[in-house]
């Protein structure tokens, strides 16, 4: 069926290129929601974007020294590269060059020539993955090369000059974005995950290194990450929220929030434990918490079956939103250095208490899970609507978690915000965040995501 469909498209290429609003290669059905590619007709299918979205998750999970902070940055640049490598071929969409923080220009196409946009995307994704994750294993780079070669082979009937031109353009876009990435403050951040020069303040209410830790290191993770450049300038100037002021009085709001965590952790149901595990996204065993949002973006694309350009826009918006969310979150974490529940509970409630989920090596306020989930939900809702039913199978195949001995299960949601709120709540169930950490994170994530939405994406 696929070859028949392709022959039909070749016969009608002039008419289709002028009149069609888009074709899905596998079905030859028209779609009305997205603009027509200007130079080639068989590249509106989102299949290539889905495959590269999966590759992003694989590389994030398998790369050594990858952290939630560094991964969030990677997803931002990888998603943006996907979009920019094909946006020039879609008349109704607008480049982010000139709109993002310090990104003034990007390579231009020759408007008199034909491009295959799947091959541009393919080449750009292969190049940016291998350079953003330059520290990844050679086996992972071979996996990247394998996907690139496979997609290239699928278009072997394309004219060689079109192939060469398309591949070169995708690589040029990736290289330009990568050069811009070097100036953001997070370049090669995997070399400085844990620094010895940061002095953790001492006193009541301040964060202490965890005794039940998620990480092999208990040194603070990326204490200077909040100084990084955000993708969107307006996200870098958002006012920083303030935490609840320390007060050990048993009648205080501060005391009450930790008492609630303590009480809840004593009566967790099986489903609540499963929720805590599902959203845990341990960086040592999974694609990291921001990777979970990027995975949801992939699920949204697979479920909605949009055009190639809208699929690429999805990854770009989600990637940049979670990257900016983490930058802002880390600024707050190391400005206030707020303690986690374990410190307060052991000092003032129960000296032998342990949280259900191990603590990450950084301060509590506010929740990284919550802010990046809120940012991602905000942009995905903009793209696909307030009601979007989907099954989150991000952890399919993982089996049983070795720490909790709980099995991973698929979870279903009626909207992106329903999932974001559950992601935030999972940190409360895990005993590593108070509600105020999560509520603040969701609110800040909404602001970050809205600023991504406010960029000019279409004409």
154 close to 45: Cβ distance less than 8 angstroms: no
Token code pair at residue 93: 């969409």
- State which H helix or E strand residue 411 sits in: strand 411-413
- Tell me the CATH number for domain 199-453: 1.10.606.20
φ and ψ of 390, to 5 deg = -155, 160
| DSSP alpha helix (H) spans, 114-232 | 117-132, 138-154, 160-181
24 close to 41: Cβ distance less than 8 angstroms: no
Give 93's DSSP letter: B
Domains 2-181 and 199-453 share a fold: yes
What string of pLDDT tens digits covers the 459 residues of the chain? 434 344 333 333 333 233 233 322 233 333 333 433 333 334 457 999 999 999 999 999 999 999 999 999 999 999 999 999 999 999 999 999 999 999 999 999 999 999 999 999 999 999 999 999 999 999 999 999 999 999 999 999 999 999 999 999 999 999 999 999 999 999 999 999 998 899 999 999 999 988 877 777 778 999 999 999 999 999 999 999 999 999 999 999 999 999 999 999 999 999 999 999 999 999 988 999 999 999 999 999 999 999 999 999 999 999 999 999 999 999 999 999 999 999 999 999 999 999 999 999 999 999 999 999 999 999 999 999 999 999 999 999 999 998 899 999 999 999 999 999 999 999 999 999 999 999 999 999 999 999 999 999 999
CATH architecture under which domain 2-181 falls? Orthogonal Bundle (1.10)
- State which H helix or E strand residue 74 sits in: helix 68-84
Listed by start position, the domains of the chain span 2-181, 199-453
Cα–Cα distance for residue pair 114/7, rounded to 1 Å: 18
Give 156's DSSP letter: T
262 close to 14: Cβ distance less than 8 angstroms: no
pTM of the full structure: 0.90
């Amino acid at each position: 069926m696929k070859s028949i469909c392709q022959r039909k498209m070749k016969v009608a290429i002039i008419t289709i290129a002028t009149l069609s609003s888009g074709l899905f290669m596998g079905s030859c059905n028209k779609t009305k929601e997205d603009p027509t590619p200007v130079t080639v007709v068989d590249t509106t299918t989102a299949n290539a974007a889905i495959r590269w979205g999966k590759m992003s998750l694989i590389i994030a999970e398998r790369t050594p020294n990858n952290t939630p902070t560094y991964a969030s940055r990677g997803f931002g640049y990888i998603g943006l590269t996907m979009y920019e490598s094909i946006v020039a071929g879609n008349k109704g969409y607008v480049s982010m060059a000139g709109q993002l923080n310090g990104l003034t220009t990007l390579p231009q196409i020759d408007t008199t020539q034909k491009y295959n946009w799947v091959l541009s995307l393919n080449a750009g994704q292969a190049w940016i993955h291998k350079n953003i994750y330059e520290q990844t294993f050679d086996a992972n780079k071979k996996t990247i090369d394998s996907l690139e070669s496979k997609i290239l082979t699928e278009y072997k009937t394309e004219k060689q000059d079109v192939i060469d031109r398309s591949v070169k353009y995708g690589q040029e876009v990736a290289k330009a974005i990568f050069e811009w990435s070097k100036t953001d403050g997070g370049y090669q951040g995997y070399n400085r995950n844990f620094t010895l020069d940061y002095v953790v303040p001492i006193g009541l209410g301040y964060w202490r290194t965890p005794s039940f830790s998620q990480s092999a290191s208990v040194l603070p993770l990326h204490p200077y990450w909040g100084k990084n450049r955000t993708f969107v300038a307006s996200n870098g100037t958002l006012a920083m929220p303030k935490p609840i002021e320390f007060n050990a009085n048993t009648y205080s709001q501060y005391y009450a929030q930790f008492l609630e965590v303590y009480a809840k952790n004593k009566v967790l149901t099986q489903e609540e434990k499963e929720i805590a595990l599902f959203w845990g996204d341990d960086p040592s065993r999974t694609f990291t918490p921001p990777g979970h949002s990027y995975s949801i973006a992939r699920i949204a694309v697979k479920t909605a079956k949009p055009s190639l350009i809208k699929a690429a826009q999805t990854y770009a918006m989600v990637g940049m939103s979670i990257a900016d969310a983490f930058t802002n979150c880390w600024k707050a974490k190391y400005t206030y250095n707020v303690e986690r529940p374990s410190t307060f509970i052991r000092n003032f409630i129960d000296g032998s208490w342990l949280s259900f989920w191990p603590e990450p090596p950084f301060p509590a306020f506010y929740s990284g899970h919550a802010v990046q989930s809120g940012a991602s939900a905000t942009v995905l809702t903009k793209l696909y609507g307030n009601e979007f039913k989907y099954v989150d199978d991000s952890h399919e195949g993982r089996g049983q978690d070795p720490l909790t001995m709980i099995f991973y299960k698929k979870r279903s949601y009626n909207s992106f915000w329903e999932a974001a709120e559950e992601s935030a709540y999972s940190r409360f169930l895990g005993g590593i965040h108070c509600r105020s950490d999560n509520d603040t994170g969701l609110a800040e994530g909404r602001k970050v995501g809205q600023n991504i939405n406010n960029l000019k994406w279409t004409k």
